[in-house]
Amino acid sequence: MSFSTIEHNRRRQNFEGISSVWLFGYGSLIYKVDFPFLEKRPATITGWQRRFWQGSHDHRGTPEAPGRVVTLIETPGARCKGMAFRVSPDVFEQLDVREKNGYLRFSTPMEFDNGAVEDGLVYIATEDNPAFLGPATSEDIARQIARSIGPSGPNRDYLLNLAEALRALGDHDAHVFEIEDHLR
């Protein structure tokens, strides 16, 4: 059960005449950089918070037992730290497949650590996609993550790698770290 957004994303932006695009990563794109990039820099977006509310039927779980991965939830005043990658537009051929399970590309302003602001793209799984699981207690999310395994490996690895990557960025994401505490 995949809720493929590949073709929809390929119609969302026109990259004609564009040599590079900024991409904001806030989940596995921070630590699993399996795509070519021209530059990478820590960045923050405003008005969004990271939440383990998206089901993963294709990477960190199965259709019968989906895992949980992060998406962004619109939250006024919130700040989400991540990693920005300047990429060639052809990289989206690969990333649209990787992020196909309910994620759509949106434009967002990103602020770099030096205060500079650039527009970039971000993949967000909105609550109207069929794989959206929504909120649950930290304990329940940790239990689901603990038992979920998919083609990309155990869901717990996703959580632990993300928590480690956020610490390396100097970010304290209470939601991620609380779930990590319950998992451990």
Would you name the residues annotated as active-site residues? Answer: 99
Q: Measure CA 153 to chain center.
A: 17
| Contact in structure between 153 and 113 (CB atoms under 8 Å) | no
Give the position of tokens 């990289």: 91
| Pair of tokens at residue 124 | 């967000």
User: Based on C-alpha coordinates, what's the Rg of the chain?
Assistant: 16
| Pair of tokens at residue 171 | 């970010």
Q: Between vectors from CA 41 to CA 26 and to CA 164, what angle results, nearest 5°?
A: 50
Please report, to the nearest 10 degrees, the dihedral formed by the alpha carbons of residues 104, 106, 111, 112 taken in order. Answer: 50
Residues 6+ positions from 183 with CB-CB distance below 8 Å: 142, 145, 146, 156, 159, 160
* DSSP type of residue 175: H
